[in-house]
Amino acid sequence: AKGNTSDWGFGTKKARSSFGRGFLKLRGGKQASSSPNLAEMEQKGTEHLDLAGVPSKKSRDAALRASSPEAKKKPKGLMKFFGRLKRSHSTSFNLDDSDTAFRRGGVRATAGPRLGWSSDSKHKAVDVPFSRWNKDEVSTWLHEQGLGVYAAPGQNWIKSGQTLLQASQHDLEKELGMKQPLHRKKLQLALQALGTEDDDLQGKLDHNWVTRWLDDIGLPQYKSNFDEARVDGRMLHYMTVEDLLSLKVGSVLHHLSIKRAIQVLRLNSFEPNCLRRRPSDETNLTPAEISQWTNHRVMEWLRSVDLAEYAPNLRGSGVHGGLMVLEPRFNVEALALLLNIPPSKTLLRRHLATHFHLLVGSEAQRQKQEGLENPDYSVLTATARVKPRRSSFGGFGSLRRRRDDCEDYVCPLNIEMPKNSSFHRNVRIYEDNLDPLEQMEDSEGAVRQIGAFSEGINNLTSMLKEEELFREISVFPLEDIKTEAQV
């Protein structure tokens, strides 16, 4: 046994005791030791093992240095701090990579999880068409769209991106179990956006952003319904009345609130931070800037005009700057009802009307006055409900339904633009909703006009072939012939 002990190279008894004291000093100095690399253990033997019973040559050298008087001095101040940084190798998978510089996106780059969402985590296959994406890439894309729950059921059905591109509504419901109609609509809109060359401005707003947006416009009570349906910016852009009814939004006031909030997003090119939540330097406010006010900002305005006791009544009402400025039906009478200001307090209502008219501007006030003069006008209240559209039988209403497809949107794509000049900055016009029937009628009318023009040319040509017309050419001015040809 003693011979075996000497083979390990511990030397004399004094050397062995010196090593023990040095090793304890290393442990007392709280120096971090690297974990063993199990993948290279068989190749490199026991050189990388830092065990107390079987030290390597490097460990013995370190122990001898530690026993010297110079090693007994503990580092202080900045040297101790930098020493700890240099010795921290415990989280590295490769011991040889410990001295490499910091690299974004590497193992130690942990800013992404702390800051939440990171654009680098988005799946990007710019050079490869979606139809050629493999199963794993499509699954990752479904997770990014908030539809990751359908990735597992689609593992056996989805072969490539082409599978989703060719899928029908029935296929999505049968193969993926996608029974939620709004989920199917979300998927189809996302697939359509992949094939467009325009900037997908709406697609940058995910369903998490939409839930925060509901807080901003004063409708937090619908957050759970919108979140379950995974409503994102694209779905807001193409939101229909039936979609809102399926989301349990039945109030007329809330429909108008969402309508004008979507219009504000379009006017601001779906900029995520376009809404104003808190007061700032607002000396010369324009109607376009007021339309960006959130529900909380409107409540702050009420406090600034000495109506603080009525401001809490707007919580959950859906009143925001876009509704106040852009909606003709929303006037000071509707605001007074929502604030629960009794009609008997005429001075208080007059005070509210004065500040409201100054806030929205003359153009918006003129439109609201025209709405009051409309024979079908009724006061906008919180209790008015949206009536669902009745479905037609026998297909007799299909033609009319096609004509009214544009009107089915909560915020029509061809909605009238506000006339105030402050709204005409960086405005994007959406013309991708042209009615197919209107396009067909326009094309048929153009064909009829071209046919009539061609017939007139043929008649004129036949007349020119006659000798009598050629004799009259020298008599009549050229201008008269041109006039006759145009007629």
240-286 pLDDT, tens per residue? 999 999 999 999 999 999 999 999 999 999 999 999 998 876 678 89
Domain residue ranges in the chain: 2-91, 124-234, 235-433, 436-486
In 3D, which of 132, 141, 145, 156 has the Cα closest to residue 183?
145
Of 44-58, 227-241, 258-272, the range with the lowest mean pLDDT is 44-58
C-alpha dist (Å) from residue 209 to 60, 230, 234, 406: 60, 10, 12, 26
pLDDT at 478 over 50: no
Residue 416: what pLDDT?
A: 81
pLDDT at 217 over 80: yes
Of 155-159, 202-206, 233-237, 401-405, the range with the lowest mean pLDDT is 401-405
Residue 388: what pLDDT?
A: 85
In 3D, which of 424, 404, 426, 425 has the Cα closest to residue 416?
424
pLDDT at 231 over 80: yes
In 3D, which of 225, 235, 127 has the Cα closest to residue 187?
235
Cα 321 to chain centroid distance, Å, stands at 21
| 466, containing H or E segment | none
Residue 56: what pLDDT?
A: 52
d(CA 487, CA 396): 42
pLDDT at 98 over 70: no
C-alpha dist (Å) from residue 430 to 266, 278, 331: 9, 30, 28
Positive or negative, the CA dihedral 95, 100, 101, 107 is negative
Mean pLDDT of 354-368: 94
Tell me the pLDDT band of 405, cut-offs 50, 70 and 90: low
| 366, containing H or E segment | helix 362-372
pTM of model > 0.75: no
CB 332 within 8 A of CB 357: yes
Positive or negative, the CA dihedral 358, 360, 366, 371 is negative
The class level of CATH for 124-234 reads mainly alpha
C-alpha dist (Å) from residue 5 to 58, 59, 128, 205, 286: 19, 18, 65, 70, 90
Buried b (16+ CB within 10 A) or exposed e, 440-459: eeeeeeeeeeeeeeeeeeee
d(CA 88, CA 31): 9
Residue 179: what pLDDT?
A: 95
Mean pLDDT of 103-118: 40
Both tokens of 444, joined, read 């048929």
Residue 80: what pLDDT?
A: 58
Tens of pLDDT, residues 10-44? 444 444 444 455 544 444 444 444 444 544 444 44
Residue 6 amino acid letter: S
Q: Which of 31-40, 89-98, 310-319 has the highest mean pLDDT?
A: 310-319
Tell me the pLDDT band of 197, cut-offs 50, 70 and 90: low
In percent, the amount of the chain with pLDDT more than 90 equals 48
In 3D, which of 323, 267, 271, 273 has the Cα closest to residue 295?
323
Intra-chain end-to-end CA distance of the chain, in Å: 125
Determine if residue 394 is left, alpha or beta; phi over 0 gives left, psi from -120 to 50 gives alpha, anything else beta: left
Q: Helix or strand or coil: residue 228? A: helix
* Average pLDDT along the chain: 73
Higher pLDDT, 449 or 287: 287
The class level of CATH for 235-433 reads mainly alpha
Tens of pLDDT, residues 137-178? 999 999 999 999 999 999 999 999 999 999 999 999 999 999
Both tokens of 484, joined, read 């006759």
Residue 448: what pLDDT?
A: 44
pLDDT at 96 over 50: no
d(CA 193, CA 92): 41
Mean pLDDT of 323-341: 96
Q: For the chain, how big is the Rg over CA atoms in Å?
A: 38
Task: Please tell me if the domain spanning 124-234 has the same topology as the one spanning 235-433.
Answer: yes
Residue 49: what pLDDT?
A: 42
Both tokens of 103, joined, read 């690299």
pLDDT at 48 over 60: no
In 3D, which of 49, 68, 41, 52 has the Cα closest to residue 16?
52
Residue 195: what pLDDT?
A: 76
Residue 120: what pLDDT?
A: 40
Tell me the pLDDT band of 291, cut-offs 50, 70 and 90: very high
Phi, psi of 75 (to 5 degrees): -65, 145
d(CA 237, CA 190): 12
Local structure of residue 278 (DSSP, 8 states): S
Higher pLDDT, 136 or 461: 136
Mean pLDDT of 172-189: 96
